[in-house]
Amino acid sequence: MDMTVSTSTQAPTSSTRPPGARRSIRRRAGLLLTVVATAAATAFGAAGTAQAAPATTQIDPVQGLIAAGVPAQVARQAAVVKPASADGVVPIAHPGRQFSFPGTEVDAVVDPEQGSVTVVQRWLSGPSGLSVGWINLDNGRSGVTGLSDVVPVPDDIHYGSAYADHAATLVTGGGHLALVVWGQIPGWTGLIPLAPEYFGIMTPSAALLRV
């Protein structure tokens, strides 16, 4: 008589697992799905935030001045000048030559409270022949103007009332400002004329400042 007993090992199926084991498997599967869904939502949200962040750019001073109407060869001066370190009165052209060469010294007087800059041509006996081009690199305001306002000179020790300052107030708003000055001035005198000023032409000058 054949007394061999056949035995086999079989992994328990879902129907043969105890109820507690089945509940544990379902809990682990649910936890895994929750983790995956949370990670996907976080990644999507981060990507959406990065795309929505606005890019902050500043206007190119040379191109902005050209667009405002400044001749290209004059506007290029804004690319080589260093930002002004002073507040209040910022020299633009020929500082210290107010009385030696009339109409040569040009300053910018900054008024942060009013959001404006007054460009002043110092000590001139006749109408101004200069032009001022400017652009606010933060808000895009720009313009080109002459210096038509006549401002009495504070002291009259040099030829009395025959001389006055000429100015224009630019309503720029707050921000970083690029401005250039060019045009005609009273000709310098000297033995060797080595600059355009000797021929009555202001060398184009620029300033970068903050209002």
Say if residues 132 and 116 touch (Cβ distance below 8 Å).
Answer: no
Residue 41 φ then ψ, to 5°: -65, -40
How confident is the model at residue 32, as a pLDDT? 46
Say if residues 153 and 164 touch (Cβ distance below 8 Å).
Answer: yes
Q: Return d(Cα 43, Cα 27) in angstroms, integer.
A: 25
A 10 A CB-CB count for 1 gives 2
Beta pairing partners, 179: 134, 207
Q: Return d(Cα 187, Cα 178) in angstroms, integer.
A: 27
CA-nearest of 122, 115, 105, 110 to 209 is: 110
Sequential DSSP letters for 153-168: -S--TTTGGG-EEEEE
157, two tokens: 């020790």
How is the chain split into domains, by residue range?
12-53, 61-210
How confident is the model at residue 96, as a pLDDT? 74
Mean pLDDT per 10-residue segment, the chain (211 residues):
45 50 52 45 38 58 97 97 86 82 94 96 94 97 97 68 91 96 94 90 96 93
